[in-house]
Amino acid sequence: MDLTADSFDATVLQAQNVVLVDFWAPWCGPCKVMSPVVDELASEMDGVTIGKVNVDDNAELARQFNVLSIPTFIVFKSGQVVEQFSGSMSKDALKEKLEKHAA
């Protein structure tokens, strides 16, 4: 799911469940590596919402959450940031981080 400034509050900050937000850009090599991993998890994980923010199109959101490098992943739970991390990782590592907060 693509997130914008217009949809971010309703989809992420007002959600009661766990939400993973992937801050990315089309020119970012590591982002291209992580994109299929994030897409797979989005279709596999129940109870976790996964969205993507293109930092080129939504620079204000990137600034708001202090995204300094990409890809940056922020995990929200009940609208609050519970974890933030950057860079590529395995699907299992990312899934483990999400499951920790979804439990």
> Can you give the CATH number for the domain in which 18 is found?
3.40.30.10
The neighbour count for residue 32, using CB atoms within 10 Å, is: 14
Catalytic one of 3, 18, 19, 31: 31
Q: In the 3-class helix/strand/coil scheme, how is the chain assigned residue by residue?
A: CECCHHHHHHHHHCCCCEEEEEEECCCCHHHHHHHHHHHHHHHHCCCEEEEEEECCCCHHHHHHCCCCCCCEEEEEECCEEEEEEECCCCHHHHHHHHHHHHC
**Domain span at 21:** 5-102
What's the pLDDT score for residue 31? 97
The pLDDT of residue 96 = 94
pLDDT score of 18 more than 90: yes
Q: What is the pLDDT of residue 83?
A: 96
pLDDT score of 103 more than 90 = no
What digits encode the pLDDT tens for the residues 62-88? 999 999 999 999 999 999 999 999 999
Q: Structural domain tally of the chain?
A: 1
pLDDT band at 102 (very low <50, low <70, confident <90, very high): confident
**In the annotation, is 23 catalytic?**
no
CA-CA-CA-CA dihedral for 13, 83, 54, 28, to nearest 10: 180
> Annotated catalytic, 28?
yes
The verdict on pTM exceeding 0.85 is yes
94 pLDDT band (50/70/90 cuts)?
very high
- Work out the mean pLDDT of the chain and round it to a whole number: 95
Among the listed residues 25, 28, 42, 102, the single catalytic one is 28
